[in-house]
Amino acid sequence: MKLRLATPGPTEVPQRLLLAGAREIVHHRSTEMEGLVHEINEGLPPLFGTRQPVYSMVTSGTGAMEAAVANCFSPGDEVLVVSNGYFGERFQAICRGYGLVVHTVASEWGTSARPEDVRAAHGEHPDIRGVLVVYSETSTGALNDVRGIADIFRDTDVVVVVDAISGLLVHPLEMDAWGLDVVLAASHKGFMLPPGLAFVALSDRAWEAVGRGQGPAYYWSFKRFRQFYPMSSSSPAVSLLLGLHESLKMLAEEGLPAFQRRHALLGEAAQRALVALGFSPFIREPHRRSHVITSALAPEGVDTGHLLKTLSTRHGLTMTGGQAHLKGKLIRVGHVGAADALDLVAVLGAVEMALLALGHRFTPGAGVGEVVRTFHEEN
């Protein structure tokens, strides 16, 4: 049975990238590695929309989130965390773990944070040092208006930290033009690589905050990153860097506008397909729907836990469901990275077969047909 991934990360890794990462290991201080890292360091900043260096870290996305908190703030600092899903809550937990005073702008899961609510919270807490927000909240599929939120703080010394771990590449992001101060990303989303690398870019305002910061940091130290740049401050993940080098080539070949258009089509097709099968859209505002995943509430009588188990055991397909209070109710179809129309046809075909096995009634082919129709209309 062939194994397939339809998750928001890790994603399926193209063979081209797997082969690049399977090359013989080269020493991380060798001339060959210096040349490769130089090309990586040139290729990353345009993808972030910045002229600042982008630092590579050996960690998951959560490690990058923690590093941002550890470096930019000190115990006792007040921060504002925008929370409309599981990963916004993770930012809260990390901040509290580092002794920060956390004020929360919370909105219901499945909604997007409103910049006017953030502005109001800043008025109530004028002494905050930072605002932390998730761009694409993969627990729900909601997209936050990080540009609108950052505009609020342009003329302040408040540091805007953005978890763009899944949203980068898939959605437009212009770090410098939008006034973002710390932008975080990771390898196992749009970069189409295995987990293990994270990326961080910092503005001048963020570096001023790092200079003030009194939190504990050594391995996570941004100062050490800058000291050793362009090379790594510690032993890097050589195989992943080899894969990243090839990933940047693939992204350049497709072009970022085409990459983003492909993901928008995948999101539209998945949404239409699930609705045709009796699911209800979880994100109701189309312009606030992430193209990383498509989330939908299951039809009456369908437990998504049973559906996901059937997909895995009968069809070798791994998909994610709802987290926390949405467990058993929500399905999240991941289509980030190298996924294309034919991949989505296979995924929806498996969903249809699993639903039939569970006794759900619908017209077979209804979901797959919507995928075909969406891409046919585009062409």
Domain layout of the chain by residue ranges: 15-253, 255-378
Token reading at 303: 């437990």
Residue type present at position 244: L
Distance between CA atoms of 142 and 332, rounded to whole angstroms? 12
Token reading at 32: 């060959």
The predicted model gives 210-225 an average pLDDT of 91
Say whether pLDDT at 28 is over 80: no
pLDDT band at 31 (very low <50, low <70, confident <90, very high): confident
Say whether pLDDT at 240 is over 90: yes
pLDDT band at 331 (very low <50, low <70, confident <90, very high): very high
pLDDT band at 146 (very low <50, low <70, confident <90, very high): very high
pLDDT band at 324 (very low <50, low <70, confident <90, very high): confident
Distance between CA atoms of 110 and 119, rounded to whole angstroms? 21
CA-atom Rg of the chain in angstroms = 21
DSSP string for 303-321: -HHHHHHHHHHHH-EEEEE
pLDDT band at 379 (very low <50, low <70, confident <90, very high): confident
- The model's pLDDT over 43-96, given as tens digits with 9 standing for 90+, comes to 999 999 999 999 999 999 999 999 999 999 999 999 999 999 999 999 999 999
Say whether pLDDT at 349 is over 80: yes
Spatial CB neighbours of 64, under 8 Å, sequence gap ≥ 6: 57, 165, 184, 185, 186, 198, 199, 200
Mean pLDDT of the chain: 96
DSSP string for 99-128: T-EEEEEE--TTS---HHHHHHHHHH-TT-
Strand 4-6: give its sheet, edge to edge. Answer: 4-6, 317-321, 330-334, 293-297, 280-281
| Residue 331, strand partner residues | 296, 321
Distance between CA atoms of 165 and 188, rounded to whole angstroms? 9
The predicted model gives 330-346 an average pLDDT of 97
For residue 26, the model assigns a pLDDT of: 84
For residue 217, the model assigns a pLDDT of: 87
- The model's pLDDT over 353-363, given as tens digits with 9 standing for 90+, comes to 999 999 999 99
- At residue 166, the 3 state secondary structure works out as coil
Say whether pLDDT at 234 is over 90: no
Stated as kind and residue range, the H or E segment containing 86 is helix 86-97
- The model's pLDDT over 161-209, given as tens digits with 9 standing for 90+, comes to 999 999 999 999 999 999 999 999 999 999 999 999 999 999 999 999 9
What CATH code is assigned to 15-253?
3.40.640.10
Spatial CB neighbours of 116, under 8 Å, sequence gap ≥ 6: none
Spatial CB neighbours of 249, under 8 Å, sequence gap ≥ 6: none
- At residue 131, the 3 state secondary structure works out as strand
Q: Higher pLDDT residue, 34 or 269?
A: 269
- At residue 301, the 3 state secondary structure works out as coil
> Could you tell me the CA-to-CA distances from 231 to 44, 57, 129, 148, 287 in Å, in that order?
14, 11, 30, 34, 39
Model's pTM, two decimal places? 0.96
For residue 233, the model assigns a pLDDT of: 84
- Kindly state the percentage of the chain with pLDDT values over 90: 91
Q: Higher pLDDT residue, 307 or 29?
A: 307
Q: What CATH number does domain 255-378 carry, 2.70.98.70, 3.40.50.1000, 3.90.1150.10, 3.90.79.10?
A: 3.90.1150.10
